[in-house]
Amino acid sequence: MELWILRHAKARAPLADEYDQDRPLTEQGQADAVALNRWLARQAMRPPGRILVSPAARTRQTADLVLRDLDAPAPLIEPQLWEAGDRELIGLLQADPQQDSMMLIGHNPGLEWLTRWITGQRLTLGLQPGTLVVIDTPDPTAPGSGSIKTVRQPTDLT
């Protein structure tokens, strides 16, 4: 399986009475998501066949900007990606074992944990906002089974 893990781009700080799921991307976050979209288009990287996105505004906005015009399937809102821990993330990967490619667009600390769990590697700078990690793994539910093909952080794209 080819697994794409994307942490949402930079979101603004919450307002006093704002629910965390409602926080949108900052202007910089939007620019970073567009830059990743352009990079993916230049690389001719085809998005995975199944794309799951957290219901949070910032993840949906990231998905829209990153996947625009890339011939990607419509992202599916997956409530379990909001505040997902290890059980939820592994459960999502186990739910469709025949899928040959999948993308998860969500949040830390869960996505950073998943990256380390599947690959056995810790990213030097962690999974910063707007970072994409592409992993090849014969079994995404087996710890240490994957290898990192690509890591793209916003600072790589400017």
Alpha helix segments (H runs only) across 44-109: 57-67, 86-94
Residue 22: Cβ within 10 Å count: 12
Alpha helix segments (H runs only) across 68-101: 86-94
Whether 78 shows a pLDDT value over 90: the answer reads yes
Q: Dump pLDDT digits (tens) for 21-43.
A: 999 999 999 999 999 999 999 99
Q: How confident is the model at residue 132 (pLDDT cuts 50, 70, 90)?
A: very high
State the pTM of this model: 0.96
Whether 158 shows a pLDDT value over 80: the answer reads no
Calpha distance 16→96 (Å, rounded): 39
Calpha distance 68→38 (Å, rounded): 9
Whether 112 shows a pLDDT value over 80: the answer reads yes
Q: How confident is the model at residue 2 (pLDDT cuts 50, 70, 90)?
A: very high
- State the residue for tokens 């993330």: 89
Q: Dump pLDDT digits (tens) for 88-108.
A: 999 999 988 778 999 999 999
**In the structure encoding, which two tokens stand for residue 150, read together?**
């690509």
Q: Domain 2-10+22-156 adopts which CATH fold?
A: Rossmann fold (3.40.50)
- What is the structure's pLDDT at 124? 80
User: What are the sequence ranges of the domains in the chain?
Assistant: 2-10+22-156
Q: How confident is the model at residue 157 (pLDDT cuts 50, 70, 90)?
A: confident
**In the structure encoding, which two tokens stand for residue 156, read together?**
């790589």
Q: Mean pLDDT throughout 142-158?
A: 93
